[in-house]
Amino acid sequence: MIIVTGTKRSGTSMWMQLLSAAGLLPIGSAFPRDWEQTLKGANPAGFWESELRKGIYYATNPDPKTGVYLFPEDTRRHAVKVFIPGLIRTDRAFIDGVIATVRPWRQYARSVHRLYTIERQARHKARAERGADNDIPDATFLPPVLEWWMENFSLISDIVTRRYPFYMVSYESVLEEPDQSVRGVFEWLKYGDVEAAISQVEPSLRTQDEAVDDLAVEEEGLFEPETIGVFDQLYQVVRTQEPLTQAFVDRLNETNERLSERIQTAVKETAQAQLERRRLIQTKLQERRSDSE
């Protein structure tokens, strides 16, 4: 399969749209069932998601609902969206090539905050329409900038370790220079209707301008200048199509080591908050069942 990967809000859905237009067979639904009511504002062209976004491995293939198994030899020219954690757990036999799209970390932070706000408002509205109490705390997530680093570092580590064919492309370059950026990907891919793909690029679908807001500035202040410099360099390497040199990989490893304690703390705190929220939801459901009996 041709796997489209990246963090949330990095252009993975856009690339699925381009590959589909070029003639590759997409796996996944462009529009989830509640897309019109909840997430249209975040991705007007759809999301192109399936269960395989979690990875192509024993838990998702065969399909746990239908029992259908996807064979590597039958899916060479299929395109599927798999987020970075899912790519890392994907069986190597299914990876014919990886298109990895990367967004600047400041823009990512802003975009993710916006997505969470849309989801939160949709949940509150749904509860209000059902007449349900709004006493369940909102979902807790990893700090966006830290999440951006963790996933992109993991992506590069996986590429270096498993050595599958890959092409890293920046989100900005596709919107600003589609002829050059998209054509470069298809020259690497060696098949597909590149002109049809380029015609699908719509910079107007960018759901926000690129100004940096207070949230991004606040998060930037949590990191040392040296670390910020590495974040910027990582994106610049992708933006300018520079090779992944050993010196660059070494610098990434050093930065990740420096951030390791902060990452472990954030992951632990987020997991604990999510667990407590699930327990509260289960308690509320049990109380409602008891009241209805």
Give per-residue pLDDT as tens, 120-161.
Answer: 888 878 777 777 666 778 888 999 999 999 999 999 999 999
Output the pTM of the full model.
0.86
Q: Print burial letters for 166-191: b (CB count within 10 Å at least 16), e (below 16).
A: bbbbbbbbbbeebeebbebbbeebee
Q: Is the pLDDT of residue 183 over 90?
A: yes
Q: Are 199 and 20 in contact (CB under 8 A)?
A: no
Query: In what order do the strands lie in the sheet containing 25-27?
Result: 25-27, 78-81, 2-5, 97-102, 166-170
Give the closest residue to 276 by CA, choosing from 147, 136, 143, 120. Answer: 136
Distances (CA, A) of 214 to 10, 107, 166, 220: 20, 12, 35, 10
pLDDT at residue 220, rounded to an integer? 77
Distances (CA, A) of 208 to 107, 125, 213, 289: 9, 23, 11, 43
Give per-residue pLDDT as tens, 202-248.
Answer: 877 665 544 445 566 677 778 999 999 999 999 999 999 999 999 99
What is the residue-averaged pLDDT of the chain? Answer: 88
Q: What are the boundaries of each domain within the chain?
A: 2-256
Q: How many CB atoms lie within 10 A of CB 263?
A: 17
pLDDT at residue 173, rounded to an integer? 95
Once rounded to an integer, what is the mean pLDDT over residues 67-71? 94
Give per-residue pLDDT as tens, 80-120.
Answer: 999 999 999 999 999 999 999 999 999 999 988 888 888 88
Architecture in CATH of 2-256: 3-Layer(aba) Sandwich (3.40)
Q: Is the pLDDT of residue 20 over 50?
A: yes
Q: Are 13 and 32 in contact (CB under 8 A)?
A: no
